Amino acid sequence: MLEGSFEVLCEDMLARIGRLKTKRGVLETPALLPVINPNVQVVKPRKIYEEMGYNAVMTNAYIIKRSLSEEAVKLGVHRILDFPGIVMTDSGAYQLLSHGRVDVEPGEIVKFQEEIGSDIAVILDVPTGFNVDYAHASWTVDETLSRARQALNIIKERDILWVGPVQGGKYLDLVKKSAEAMSQLPFHLYALGSPTRVMEQYRFNTLVDMILTAKIHLPIEKPFHLFGAGHPFMFSLAVALGCDLFDSASYALYARNDRYMTPHATLRVEQLNYLPCSCPVCVKLSCRELKAMSREERERILATHNLYVCQAELKLIKQAIHDGRLWELIEVRARSHPSLLAALRKLLTYVDHLEKHTPISKKRGILCLGPESAARPEILRYRRRLKDRYRPSPTFKVMLLIPKSRRKPYSRDAFVKSLLNRLAQEFGAESEAVHICVYDPFFSIVPLELDDIYPISQSESFEGWEDYSQMLQELKAYLPKAPYKAVVLYSVKGVNDEEIKDLCAKLNIKLSIIKAMETLWSKAALKALVEQVKNALRNA
């Protein structure tokens, strides 16, 4: 088998831009492989390759064997499809899931994929499906592993990349068992089996569990494939979870049902008043012309458009990975459907794992678009390192805790500068005993001397979100390790003053609270803060 076939170029969370080397050429990931039915080609594979920029497709070796066996062995799968790029072949597992049986033996379909010259091939696994009991799911895991071992013993062609599917369905302990066992077998790629029904029913939060349970227990250096990814609005989520490749026939299935894809929804043709797209198909058509076409022609046109939309979304995802902005794209797409928003919130339960694979710094700053942003990997990392690695100077006696100011870094804000100057004028060297810290709903507590580190100053957040519960949690961890004798709090709406009072009382720290003034950063506010600091220093 080929060694060193996957090279990672750029990462963000579990997403990566990579280069997968095959005997037919290099495939840049993340990549969508349009599924081609060898007997019904709505869009010609050569057009998909030459005009639309897809250099890899997926087809079904089982269907080819049943209808074009001799010709395929003679000519090869690439000539059968008339596709000069990379061809991945499935083994008939989808038919096994749909119909309950296939007329081929596992070893037979492995040999056939070798004979027709597949670039990437899948063993004949046994899909778990969704609405099955635990005993059946467990059997599919064991049977798939048995078939995987048998396949590795009969594979002869060493230039094909073979895929080891992970089964278990919604039973995460079985997914874990399957992934752990499959990871011990020398496949080039691994894949999540049985996700199609989950995605069709919009159970994206379940999909998050399934993908990450598999990913966490598979070799991180190997590519991961998601079978049957359906709609571009969930591509960014799948990529962030670590899916390097995914196949889909949805472009054609949707077209057959008169459905028009957009990056965030699917629209029925009869409901369209405009074509909200600038792909090569849509710029040449009007809605009236599209609706007046014959059903066959409209199906072809819609399938072509749908492929362009999928390709554009993938390019957007790749740019987001380069920019370190994939999280923002996921948040935007999550607002497309409640099920995607539920999936994003499920993703937050795995943020510790995502943080391990998120770069320390990025080319661009981050955008905090909603409450979910407070738990994104970069912000989690900051809060964790503040707790584990930072200790305020023992010379500090008073903590002056103020809300985030208008400008970043906070130390360059006009009000903060004025505050620093007034403290120096009033107290001279004693002002060094005052430690200014800023708080906000996202980063919680920011000591002023840390305010220009990434991504605090390299971030933008929306105004009006008043949930400071995370700040309170951080204070509970921070204050017991700090040298402060007193805290002066400039309290804004949403801050739980009573809980902070209780916390300071337990720690024997004196607390002074100034309620936010009508003009938050006013001369009156400055005067009140300085006066309270004076009292705190006097009594410290």
**pLDDT by residue (tens digit) across 194-221?**
787 888 888 999 999 999 999 999 999 9
CATH number of the domain where residue 131 is located: 3.20.20.105
Q: Is it the case that residue 465 has pLDDT exceeding 90? A: no
Report if residue 533 sits inside a domain.
yes
Residue 329 pLDDT level (bands cut at 50, 70, 90): very high
Is there a single domain that holds both residue 331 and residue 474? no
CA–CA gap between residue 446 and residue 401 (Å, rounded): 9
Residue 158 pLDDT level (bands cut at 50, 70, 90): confident
Give pLDDT, residue 93. Answer: 76
Report if residue 384 sits inside a domain.
no
CA–CA gap between residue 190 and residue 476 (Å, rounded): 43
Report if residue 386 sits inside a domain.
no
Which residues have C-beta within 8 Å of that of residue 204, sequence separation ≥ 6? 198, 234, 237, 339, 340, 342, 343, 346
Between the two ends of the chain, the Cα-to-Cα distance in Å is 71
CATH number of the domain where residue 482 is located: 3.40.50.10630
Please name the residue that has the structure tokens 């979100």. 465
Please name the residue that has the structure tokens 């590519």. 223
The structure's pTM equals 0.92
CA–CA gap between residue 297 and residue 258 (Å, rounded): 11
Residue 510 burial (CB < 10 Å; 0-12/13-18/19+)? Answer: middle
Is there a single domain that holds both residue 346 and residue 402? no
Residues 32-38 have a mean pLDDT of 95
Give pLDDT, residue 44. Answer: 96
Please name the residue that has the structure tokens 């309270």. 532
Is there a single domain that holds both residue 308 and residue 443? no
Residues 148-160 have a mean pLDDT of 91
Give pLDDT, residue 1. Answer: 43
Give pLDDT, residue 10. Answer: 94
CA–CA gap between residue 126 and residue 106 (Å, rounded): 10
What residues make up the domain containing 315?
A: 6-356
Is there a single domain that holds both residue 231 and residue 300? yes
Helix or strand or coil: residue 146? Answer: helix
Check: CB of residue 533 under 8 Å from CB of residue 511.
Answer: no
Is there a single domain that holds both residue 338 and residue 471? no
Share of the chain above pLDDT 70, in %: 99
Report if residue 362 sits inside a domain.
no
Stretch among 19-28, 95-104, 454-463 having the lowest mean pLDDT:
95-104
CA–CA gap between residue 186 and residue 348 (Å, rounded): 32
Report if residue 138 sits inside a domain.
yes
Is there a single domain that holds both residue 424 and residue 481? yes
CA–CA gap between residue 91 and residue 148 (Å, rounded): 12
Helix or strand or coil: residue 197? Answer: helix
Is there a single domain that holds both residue 184 and residue 317? yes
DSSP result, 340-352: HHHHHHHHGGGHH
Residues 485-490 have a mean pLDDT of 96
Report if residue 499 sits inside a domain.
yes
Residue 2 pLDDT level (bands cut at 50, 70, 90): very low
CA–CA gap between residue 520 and residue 323 (Å, rounded): 35
Is there a single domain that holds both residue 60 and residue 132? yes
Give pLDDT, residue 115. Answer: 96
Return the structure tokens found at 331: 């948040």
CA–CA gap between residue 217 and residue 222 (Å, rounded): 12
**pLDDT by residue (tens digit) across 334-393?**
999 999 999 999 999 999 999 999 999 888 899 999 899 999 999 999 999 999 999 999
Give pLDDT, residue 102. Answer: 81
Average pLDDT, the chain: 93
Last residue of a domain, one of 297, 328, 356: 356
Structural domains in the chain (count): 2
Q: What are phi and psi of 222, to 5 degrees?
A: -100, 145
Give pLDDT, residue 225. Answer: 97
Is there a single domain that holds both residue 270 and residue 414? no
CA–CA gap between residue 91 and residue 406 (Å, rounded): 59
Return the structure tokens found at 516: 């936010």
Is there a single domain that holds both residue 186 and residue 60? yes
Report if residue 375 sits inside a domain.
no
Catalytic site residues?
90
Is there a single domain that holds both residue 336 and residue 483? no
Is there a single domain that holds both residue 349 and residue 430? no
Q: Is it the case that residue 313 has pLDDT exceeding 80? A: yes
Return the structure tokens found at 394: 């023992």
Report if residue 370 sits inside a domain.
no
Check: CB of residue 175 under 8 Å from CB of residue 206.
Answer: no
**pLDDT by residue (tens digit) across 125-148?**
999 988 899 999 999 999 999 999
Residues 222-250 have a mean pLDDT of 94
Helix or strand or coil: residue 190? Answer: strand
Check: CB of residue 165 under 8 Å from CB of residue 214.
Answer: no
